[in-house]
Chain A
Amino acid sequence: DSGVTQTPKHLITATGQRVTLRCSPRSGDLSVYWYQQSLDQGLQFLIQYYNGEERAKGNILERFSAQQFPDLHSELNLSSLELGDSALYFCASSVELRGSGNTIYFGEGSWLTVV
């Protein structure tokens, strides 16, 4: 158990819909990362937050957005869903923003299926 909690674990929704994925980081971790993993694309970095502020952006679509709340939990919002958005979405957290050897811990993922 990494200490990172993600909900829901599985989600099936129709094209055009909107879903919210939730992540609680490990206790004490200030950084939260979101990743998308699909069979053909591997693990793709979406976005990172540190202590409530956006810190880095990766290959995140404009239809997707995220935020980190004062209690440090984070949500990833996916809208106007398309079949190609079906994937495993991982949240990860780490304790510090900088420093050599920084380690990130992954949750078990939210499996999204768009039909």
Chain B
Amino acid sequence: TQLLEQSPQFLSIQEGENLTVYCNSSSVFSSLQWYRQEPGEGPVLLVTVVTGGEVKKLKRLTFQFGDARKDSSLHITAAQPGDTGLYLCAGVNYGQNFVFGPGTRLSVLP
């Protein structure tokens, strides 16, 4: 069974701070995706990383896929209250099944 772990589980920071959340697995994935979910809504795709070592930037968000395609990180610069939400990583295995991590719940205080 492929499992994804995310850390930290909860994170509460002040507006303007930087943060990094992690997604780790012992399994190799063909690609990895990050989603953000707000209360009462479905997860919304932020990014897909496909190549080992790949780095993608989305405004203040930087995503990195590990060289071995087993882990990923999400770095947010100068966090804003609008970044508050549940951040989920999802690994896509070669059989095209999606495995979701438990999520990191981020709260950015004004």
Contacts and interface: CB of A to CB of B under 8 A. Distances in A.
Interface of A: 2, 4, 33, 35, 42-43, 45, 48, 56, 90, 92, 97-109, 111
B78 interface: no
B88 A43 contact: yes
Given A102-B92, A102-B96, A103-B33, A42 B44 contact: no
Nearest to A108: B42
A100 B100 contact: no
Contact of B98 (A4, A99, A104, A107): A104
Given A43-B103, A97-B96, A103 B45 contact: yes
Nearest to B88: A43
Listed residue (B31, B42, B100) with the most chain A CB atoms within 10 angstroms of its CB: B42
A103 B41 contact: no
A43 B35 CA distance: 12
B41 A100 contact: no
Nearest to B97: A56
Contacts of A90: 42-43
